[in-house]
Structure 1
Amino acid sequence: MFFTRKSELIEAEKALPGRSERPFHLSEKHTVLDAPILTDTAPEGYEVAIFGLGCFWGAEEIFWKMDGVWSTSAGYAGGTTPNPSYEEVCSGRTNHTEAVRVVYDPARVSFADLVKTFFEVHDPTQGMRQGNDVGTQYRSAIYYTTPEQEQTARELTKVYGDELARRRLGDITTEIREVPTYYYAEDQHQQYLAKNPFGYRCHANTGVKFPANA
């Protein structure tokens, strides 16, 4: 992945200007799932969750393998620059983090289950990095889309944070806030590991399972 030492968010007025429209074409069909990549319209009753947990290649793969997930995509969220490119995000001048948009059937998989998986498969204590990937685009984030998601995210963050504190593994730095504008990443990043099965996976994690009684 593109390496950057940019590890602090910049002031909005210093961010790159971006553009009014997406500057690239996206495939219509998800490479793995029987669903579209563009999911602004989803089946009735389905819900959306957006997570940042480091490099979005490996992160997206984790979620598309979960039962009850209808579609996933790689993208950029939490930043300032509209319709950014991958290179712009990697420059540290857009304030975006690499993110995964998950559209799921809550009758088959709960938001809580998604959050628990999220915490187990990355290290939420590392701030602006994951493993050797350093930069603001690798920060940990949960962007909620409903008040119920916010409550669940905050409750489970405390549970997992208490467990990490008990083990003296550091404080959780995960950004939790209402979902910002989500921008889809370029086509080559969508389902990257399905197209490149021996590609890069960053699975830095604490090794701590989510407490079973939570």
Structure 2
Amino acid sequence: MTGKGLFLTFEGIDGSGKSTQARRLAEALTELGHQVILTREPGGSPGAEEIRRLVLEGEPDRWSAETEILLFTAARRDHLERTILPALEAGKIVICDRFADSTRMYQGLSRGDLRQLVDQLHKLMIGREPDITLLIDMDPETGLSRAKGRQGTEERFEDFGPELQRKMRAGFLELAQEFPDRFHVVDGNRDADRVAQDVSDIVLRELRSMP
């Protein structure tokens, strides 16, 4: 499952600002003349968006971690088939707000010792890692405060509280060490413009190094 384009993902705890940075990067690259697809997970295709409502709304204990892994993998497979791979084959830059690393953290690590199961399903059903992953690192308490301040309907994971956010942050930083070739850690505790500049510098440098 290799494409001709560039597959770039944003990761981070809730409220880290990654969605804002993903949008800003998409706008900046489009202005430079690149063909860009901005998408998200869970979601990014009609079927995956239906699953998104199932996993992000409702009570915290609505699903077990094992059931969530299956739901997220199903959504990711549909997203991959219908949105990501066609765009990459067309030579476009795909920017995705969350991907498999979030499942490795939320379900595989932070809600149970299920990382091996996540990786097995990922290898079997997805088989694709991002080319570049930008981790927007954020203080957990600040991030949770921001996330709760949005007052949306998709607050199921925020409702697990600050302890989950702390475990998530530590886990993401460990993932960055596990996959150093694709991960770039960006300090999200700063002004959004400064974060956006760092993100842009990283991605443009990577684009210049591509054959």
Fold shared per TM-score above 0.5? no
TM-score, normalised with respect to structure 2: 0.32
Q: Which structure features the higher share of strand residues?
A: 1
